Amino acid sequence: MAFALSDIQLESQAFGSHEAIPEKHTGDGENVSPALSWKQPPEGTKGFALICHDPDAPLVQNGSYGFVHWVLYNLPGDLTQLEEGTQQGTGGKNDYGKLGYGGPMPPEGHGIHHYYFWVLALDDMMQLSEGLTLPQLLEELEPHILGMNRLIGTYRRD
């Protein structure tokens, strides 16, 4: 079942599904992560991880992931939300080369980009070291994924 969508539902108070991400949460604004919440995790969930990536970005790094904006993991299984600008969990390396959240900032005039925020429910409370890249994280998590789902936001720079 590893990468199949499940009944877990991910939402944000900052934007709805396929709606524009407010500038506050982008590289043009305060570059602060949006508040997120989820419900209906699969039975047996003991941990979570979050990822945000832009598949519309030119393939700058990693070949097939577009641009990775956020890698967050080591989140406990009883967690149901993250506050704006969260300091919870362990930050992985984004494609800006930094730890934690790096907001949307597509090239000017490149049109609308789609940002996929993923929540992954895990059968174990992982204790992974800081600074993993998305491919490294997925390699560690794949055997433990019970279910996952996404929230898609958009952003454009004219």
Continuous segment of H or E residues that includes residue 153? strand 145-155
**Tell me, what's the pLDDT at 5?**
79
The set of residues, in sequence order, having a beta carbon less than 8 Å from that of 87 and lying 6+ positions away, is none
Condensed to tens digits (0 to 9), the pLDDT of residues 88-102 reads 999 999 999 999 999
Global pTM value? 0.93
Q: Which of 116, 140, 138, 108 is nearest to 126 (CA)?
A: 140
Condensed to tens digits (0 to 9), the pLDDT of residues 56-87 reads 887 655 556 689 999 999 999 999 999 999 99
Condensed to tens digits (0 to 9), the pLDDT of residues 4-48 reads 678 999 999 999 999 999 999 999 999 999 999 999 999 999 999
Percent of the chain with pLDDT over 90: 84
Is pLDDT at 1 greater than 60 in this prediction?
Answer: no
**Tell me, what's the pLDDT at 3?**
60
Q: Which of 153, 133, 146 is nearest to 40 (CA)?
A: 146
User: Residue 4, Cβ neighbours under 10 Å: how many?
Assistant: 10
User: What are the chain's domains?
Assistant: 9-155 (3.90.280.10)
19-20/145-155 β-pairing: parallel
At residue 129 the predicted structure's pLDDT band, cuts being 50, 70 and 90, is very high
